[in-house]
Structure 1
Amino acid sequence: MQMWILKTRTFYLNRTWGRRSMKLTLILLTFVSIFSLYSVHLLLKTANEGGSLLYEQLGHKAFGMVGKLTASGSITMQNIGAMSSYLFIVKYELPLVIQALMNIEDTNGLWYLNGDYLVLLVSLVLILPLSLLRNLGYLGYTSGLSLLCMMFFLIVVICKKFQIPCPAEIAFLVNETVNGSLAQPAAFVGFNRTESDSCQPRYFIFNSQTVYAVPILTFSFVCHPAILPIYEELKGRSRRRMMNVSKISFFAMFLMYLLAALFGYLTFYEHVESELLHTYSSVMETDILLLIVRLAVLVAVTLTVPVVIFPIRSSITHLLCASKEFSWWRHSVITVSILVFTNLLVIFVPNIRDIFGFIGASAAAMLIFILPSAFYIKLVKKESMKSVQKIGAMFFLLSGIVVMTGSMALIVLDWVHNAPGGGH
């Protein structure tokens, strides 16, 4: 289950390599995964001591209504960001799949190749009916299918590395999709650097895009809202057993993120796009294997979106109508509102990086760094404030505050600085 929660962000981690560097991202990926695992340890220990297996309830016990609202708001923001990432995949990949299947060359004026229209159509016809269900009986099937999809995607990325020559050695054209229609291709032959330099990995790069590295990686390792429900349902429940499950899941996702990002970067170097499959389409537009990957990914993310809606709706219902009986009218209104808001984000925010950056710097930082350590310090009474455990949690809390405030400030500065032509 934890692996399903973590898996889909692999598509976008390639940008972290392409715009930053190899060693820098490897270092950040390692540290973020270790910190995330440590925060799971704090959360499980706090749950045992605090007597609650609900994230929001721990917040209420620790800091009253403020803690409950903070936890609920962070979970909602995080899951909306996850939903947005899945719908961005639909927006960018479904037009290419339809275009390839129908063998269409001229895409001008065709509404069914417009990503915005297709996102709305998929949300209305497929996602909404599944989201309105009261129970998640199909969760086991969709999570397994999604994980198999990602493994297939990873295998293809590794194989393509040995089939596609370096971009500097071929007449490589990049087509960028804008509002669902293909823009004029721009060839990036004739770089400022030499051909050999273009095909060499760059290990440490610091530029205006580096500020998004930590938030994106932080966003990619958030599964904490689901830790406690999984812990509650674990047979023969024990904190040690749950930590072993977490270690295996985090290590598996660490390898998947690392290999996908590494081989994606070593295929296209600094020319890798925010969504990796888009980069492949620039050189292999009729590749059958990539078409199969796209279809598999689209099915997986479409089935995953309703699953992500459930904790958001549950959190909102728990806050607003905790004492009221179930109502189909309220259930439907909340579901439609969540879908409408997420679709507006996907349509009007041009770059998924901005959503990842903002939510990773705010909600993800809260869920990984700040809230688990704050709950631990407040609720675990048997350890003194001078103990190694409490000092470690305090340091972790301060680190989270630094990460959140620093990342948010740098992201806002980048938005302001690059607003006129920054491609956001």
Structure 2
Amino acid sequence: MGFLPPSERKYRRSPRSLLLPEKHRDVSGQFDRPEDRLGGASYWGAVFNLSTTIIGAGIMALPATLKQLGLIPGLIMIVLGATLTSFSIETILKFSRASKSATYSGLVADAFGVSGRNLLQVCVVLNNLGLLIVYMIIIGDVLSGTGTKSVHHSGLIEEWMGQHWWTSRAFLMLCTTLFVFAPLISLRRLDSLRYTSALSVGLAIVFVAITAGITTVKLVNGSIEIPQLVPKLDGLSAFWRLFTTIPVIVTAYICHHNMLFAVHPIENELVEPGQMKSIVRTSLMLCVSVYMATSLFGFLLFGEGTMDDILANFDGDLRIPYSSALNDLVRASYGIHLMLVFPIVFFSLRLNLHGLLCPHSVAIAYDNHRRFYLLTAFLMGLIFLGANFVPSIWDVFEFTGATTAVSIGFIFPAAVALRDSHRVATKKDKVVSWVMIMLAVTSSMAAISSEIDGILSSGGS
């Protein structure tokens, strides 16, 4: 029978886990008894289940990274991001098994104690808070529209109903919050969202397929210009601005704080549990294919006019048959997808914030009703305000991507490997970990410096 190390036992808040099936765990909370394994889950079923924890709102900003970097460097960076993510996830899996940890925070607690665990949870809270603000900004773009100082891109409701106070961005986001998000985030168990999650995956596939189809048609009829293959560098500031794309790419791959929650149930049901490493790699290959397709087709379709949120581009004449209907279908499919994924990310946000505020309490779903609903309302209020006052998803991605996302995705896994509390790290693990830390710190500092320089420059002008 497995055992739980002191660091994991000390911080366990409840004998039950909200995301892990009760009947599959032994008294220590681990999945180490052969008789507990259900068996029968297919390889590809596990791949698709794991992929749903990775693909999210970051995909909407990827075409804009190609506009900044150029087609060739942009696609290379997307592949590089997947490669580093693969290593970091495999590191988490390897060391979680060595420490008998069922969660990412438990793994960090095993290596660095309560301080490390709290720091990771702060990063998860800030990252998820920023991500949900991005979700709501994109939903606002879809429903009401967005634009720059010179160009306005209309939203669905604004196009259908005209410009009125009840088609304004703030009012439509308030209605979405009250009538869509509020019922979904009030559910106490993540399992209650399994059907909406399945629907959301299908809608994401619809978005990618339609975008690829539109671009292919326009390539055939010759109405697409040759894209920018390399970045335009007209000065030192333009060079440093290239680094602002790194946080966006990192954010697109962040799934680490959900990995063990997703992996243990999947692994528990596999006929051959040893396939898990291959499943992780195949899932990332699937995700990078989706990311590259979206980035490539989106950038080819809109070129230098590509918006930070590419959904905002789908409001004009695409110069193909049924242009208006396709525009509406693309925006509606991914807008609804984000509405359905929103409560899943919110669940993780609420769970981690509750863990920080009430470290010795039972899990939030089993806590008293007043605390559950007060915390839910507080977080939803912050997200709503952030979505109304943050001008662009790029700004959020730059902040969270350059700080919390790189910490969750690269710095913490590398630090755990270098700490090597259970003496399982190889020389390769330690070398790659040092490389990941140096790349993460260097690129984050460059991105933050570039963003500050951009703010000061715009303020001065």
Tell me the TM-score normalized by structure 2: 0.78
Change (3 A) 1:137 1:49: closer
Give me the whole-angstrom Cα distance separating, in 1, the residues matched to 2:72 and 2:355. 44
Give me the whole-angstrom Cα distance separating, in 1, the residues matched to 2:420 and 2:103. 14
8 Å contact from structure 1 (residues 111, 117) kept in 2: yes
Give me the whole-angstrom Cα distance separating, in 1, the residues matched to 2:403 and 2:338. 24
Residue 34, structure 1, aligned to residue 83, structure 2: yes
1:161 aligns to what?
Answer: 215
Aligned-partner residue type, residue 414 of structure 2: S
2:428 aligns to what?
Answer: 388
Mapping for residues 133-212 of structure 1, pairs under 5 Å: 133-164=187-218, 199-205=225-231, 206=233, 207=238, 209-212=241-244
Which residue of the other structure, out of 376, 379, 389, is the alignment partner of 1:338?
Answer: 379
8 Å contact from structure 2 (residues 243, 446) kept in 1: no
1:97 aligns to what?
Answer: 156
8 Å contact from structure 1 (residues 55, 225) kept in 2: yes
Residue 369, structure 1, aligned to residue 369, structure 2: no
2:18 aligns to what?
Answer: none
Give me the whole-angstrom Cα distance separating, in 1, the residues matched to 2:307 and 2:107. 40
Residues 38-80 of structure 1, C-alpha deviations (whole Å, 9 max, x = no match): 0011111110122212122222222222201211011112212
1:399 aligns to what?
Answer: 439
2:393 aligns to what?
Answer: 352
Q: Tell me, what secondary structure is at the counterpart of 1:405?
A: helix
Give me the whole-angstrom Cα distance separating, in 1, the residues matched to 2:440 and 2:122. 17
Give me the whole-angstrom Cα distance separating, in 2, the residues matched to 1:232 and 1:360. 27
Q: How high is the sequence identity, in percent, across the aligned residues?
A: 21
Give me the whole-angstrom Cα distance separating, in 1, the residues matched to 2:314 and 2:241. 22
Which residue of the other structure, out of 247, 261, 269, is the alignment partner of 1:215?
Answer: 247
Residue 412, structure 1, aligned to residue 446, structure 2: no
Deviates more, 1:322-331 or 1:17-26: 322-331
Deviates more, 1:357-366 or 1:262-271: 262-271
Residues 74-108 of structure 1, C-alpha deviations (whole Å, 9 max, x = no match): 11122122212211121111122223444x3xx2x
Give me the whole-angstrom Cα distance separating, in 2, the residues matched to 1:278 and 1:320. 38
8 Å contact from structure 1 (residues 154, 260) kept in 2: yes
* Number of matched pairs: 386
Change (3 A) 1:239 1:62: farther
Residue 47, structure 1, aligned to residue 88, structure 2: no
2:341 aligns to what?
Answer: 304
1:65 aligns to what?
Answer: 114
Q: Tell me, what secondary structure is at the counterpart of 2:422?
A: coil
2:55 aligns to what?
Answer: 7
Aligned-partner residue type, residue 216 of structure 1: V
8 Å contact from structure 1 (residues 127, 306) kept in 2: yes
Give me the whole-angstrom Cα distance separating, in 2, the residues matched to 1:271 and 1:358. 24
Change (3 A) 1:384 1:290: closer
Give me the whole-angstrom Cα distance separating, in 2, the residues matched to 1:351 and 1:304. 20
Q: Tell me, what secondary structure is at the counterpart of 1:287?
A: helix
Structure 1 residue 236: deviation in Å? Answer: 5.0
Aligned-partner residue type, residue 397 of structure 1: I
Unaligned 5+ segments in structure 1 are: 170-197
Residue 56, structure 1, aligned to residue 90, structure 2: no
Give me the whole-angstrom Cα distance separating, in 2, the residues matched to 1:26 and 1:111. 42
8 Å contact from structure 2 (residues 241, 451) kept in 1: no
Q: Tell me, what secondary structure is at the counterpart of 1:65?
A: helix
2:31 aligns to what?
Answer: none
Aligned-partner residue type, residue 304 of structure 1: V
Give me the whole-angstrom Cα distance separating, in 1, the residues matched to 2:330 and 2:54. 19
Residue 324, structure 1, aligned to residue 361, structure 2: yes
Change (3 A) 1:115 1:384: closer
Unaligned 5+ segments in structure 2 are: 1-48, 145-154
Q: Tell me, what secondary structure is at the counterpart of 1:6?
A: coil
Residues 258-293 of structure 1, C-alpha deviations (whole Å, 9 max, x = no match): 111111111221111122232231225971122123
Give me the whole-angstrom Cα distance separating, in 1, the residues matched to 2:293 and 2:253. 16
Which residue of the other structure, out of 252, 267, 280, is the alignment partner of 1:246?
Answer: 280
Structure 1 residue 389: deviation in Å? Answer: 2.5
Q: Tell me, what secondary structure is at the counterpart of 1:147?
A: helix
Change (3 A) 1:20 1:391: closer
Give me the whole-angstrom Cα distance separating, in 1, the residues matched to 2:241 and 2:302. 18
Change (3 A) 1:114 1:165: farther
Structure 1 residue 390: deviation in Å? Answer: 2.2
8 Å contact from structure 2 (residues 68, 245) kept in 1: no
1:172 aligns to what?
Answer: none
Structure 1 residue 231: deviation in Å? Answer: 2.2
Change (3 A) 1:383 1:5: closer
Give me the whole-angstrom Cα distance separating, in 1, the residues matched to 2:219 and 2:415. 50
